[in-house]
Amino acid sequence: ETLSFDFPVVQIEEGVATLELFHGPTMAFKDVGARFMAKCLGYFNKDKEQKITVLVATSGDTGGAVARGFLGVKGVEVVILYPRGKVSTIQEKQLTTLGQNITALEVDGVFDDCQEMVKTAFLDAEIDRILTSANSINIARWLPQMFYFFFAYKQVQHLNKELIFSVPSGNFGNICAGMMAQKLGLPVKHFIASTNVNDTVANYLKSGQYEPKPSVATISNAMDVGNPSNFIRILELFNKDDEQLKKLFSSYSFTDNETRQAMKSIYKKSNYIVDPHGAVGYLGLKKHELKANDYGIFLETAHPVKFLDIVEETLGAKVAIPEQIQSVINKEKRSIRISSYSDLKAFLNA
């Protein structure tokens, strides 16, 4: 039931393709992990009397995927924190219009503030609820994402090329899943963590100093993360050996202007519309300079319609609105505004 939709590899140009991850119900790659986790949690909690509260922070697509995945799951309440004014209109509608067991908390701050509140709540003994997370800090959310790296390989195996994945990266759960797939035997030559100007990891690979910083708002908002919580897991995969890591892993960062130019270039050359995150992934492949026998695949993590204003303004082209999105556009937004951890704690203990 989790993987009931397609994951096609679509060629963009010679030696470069995209893996489309937006054919699920909320049109983002996070449908995979959210649906898998919802099924698991619903199954293991079905005979228990006390409810579980899924507490999750979102910078964009996680909230909508978790909301839809857990909607109506018996014995589970979902509380989603998202930064006010820093998710797209459609993303906000997807996480604030469902009702039932889903509550959206609109935070005066950035994603890192939301994530910090969630982490604080897990350590607070005074919270009178059983809490679990649906962010990628919970491996049940991103481990299932290993599947589609294998699906991609199956589709291009006949080319007999060396595979390089470029993964648009924010909290680094998606690329960590890919690297776990590689550890399980998936033949991948190299991984590229492509980021926007939130370049903590790219800078670490240059300097050897890990220096988290406040996140900066960009047009690829799902990657606006200044302190990616899953990067430590990637380091652990390599026993914190930077030299071994760099043989298989690179990270490059790009500005909004570069992102828009890539969107235009892909549209002009291939008549293919990418969202800003996919464009950043494409740029990562270009910067890495593929060799003759390399085949680069960048992950298209969300349908362009989820960033409708940015895409249409950048390309001067209209994007058809799919049925999954049309169904939420005119629904009424319902959220509760909070500004501090004390507000979150009061809500959870109410």
> In this predicted model, what pLDDT tens digit does every residue of 61-105 receive, in sequence order?
888 999 999 999 888 999 999 999 988 888 899 999 999 999 999
Q: Within a domain: residue 3? A: no
Same domain assignment for residues 150 and 284: yes
Strand partners, 192: 166, 250
> What per-residue confidence (pLDDT) applies to 61?
80
Same domain assignment for residues 288 and 175: yes
Same domain assignment for residues 164 and 122: no
Q: Within a domain: residue 291? A: yes
CA-based Rg of the chain, rounded to a whole angstrom? 19
Instruction: For residue 80, give the nearest of 51, 50, 111, 46 by alpha carbon.
Output: 111
Supply the mean pLDDT for the chain.
93
Higher pLDDT, 336 or 87: 336
Same domain assignment for residues 15 and 86: no
Same domain assignment for residues 265 and 148: yes
Cα separations in angstroms, 341 against 1, 77, 127, 144, 344: 36, 19, 12, 31, 5
Convert the pLDDT of each residue in 221-235 to its tens digit. 889 999 998 999 999
Same domain assignment for residues 68 and 156: no
Predicted confidence (pLDDT) at residue 188 exceeds the cutoff of 90: yes
Predicted confidence (pLDDT) at residue 339 exceeds the cutoff of 90: yes
Same domain assignment for residues 53 and 103: yes
Question: Which of 43-57, 152-166, 309-323 is predicted most confidently?
Answer: 152-166
> What per-residue confidence (pLDDT) applies to 226?
92
Strand partners, 28: 302
Q: Within a domain: residue 343? A: yes
* Alpha-carbon torsion (151, 153, 159, 160), positive or negative: negative
Q: Tell me the pTM.
A: 0.88
Element containing residue 179 per DSSP (H, E): helix 173-183
Same domain assignment for residues 22 and 73: no
Q: Please give the tally of structural domains in the chain.
A: 2
> What per-residue confidence (pLDDT) applies to 316?
94
Question: Is 30 considered catalytic here?
Answer: yes
Would you list the DSSP string of 139-167? HHHHGGGHHHHHHHHHHHGGG--EEEEEE
Structure tokens at 289: 């300079």
Q: Within a domain: residue 220? A: yes
Q: Which residues contact 265 (CB under 8 A, 6 or more apart)?
A: none
Q: Within a domain: residue 122? A: yes
Q: What's the domain range around 240? A: 9-27+142-323
pLDDT band at 329 (very low <50, low <70, confident <90, very high): confident
Convert the pLDDT of each residue in 24-68 to its tens digit. 999 999 999 999 999 888 888 877 777 899 999 987 788 899 999
Same domain assignment for residues 116 and 201: no
Predicted confidence (pLDDT) at residue 1 exceeds the cutoff of 80: no
Q: What percent of the chain has pLDDT over 70?
A: 100
Helix (H, G, I), strand (E, B) or coil at 332: coil
- Exposure of 112 by Cβ count < 10 A (0-12 exposed, 13-18 middle, 19+ buried)? buried
Predicted confidence (pLDDT) at residue 146 exceeds the cutoff of 80: yes
Mean per-residue pLDDT for 289-315? Answer: 95
Pairwise CA distance, residues 99 & 91, whole Å: 15
Which range among 8-22, 180-194, 308-322 shows the weakest confidence by mean pLDDT? 308-322
Q: Within a domain: residue 2? A: no
Same domain assignment for residues 94 and 149: no
Q: Within a domain: residue 267? A: yes
Same domain assignment for residues 133 and 156: no
> What per-residue confidence (pLDDT) applies to 41?
87
Q: Within a domain: residue 333? A: yes
Predicted confidence (pLDDT) at residue 157 exceeds the cutoff of 90: yes
Predicted confidence (pLDDT) at residue 136 exceeds the cutoff of 80: no
CATH code for the domain of 83:
3.40.50.1100
- Exposure of 12 by Cβ count < 10 A (0-12 exposed, 13-18 middle, 19+ buried)? buried
Same domain assignment for residues 133 and 146: no
Helix (H, G, I), strand (E, B) or coil at 54: strand
Pairwise CA distance, residues 295 & 162, whole Å: 6
Which residue of the set 30, 93, 306, 345 is catalytic? 30
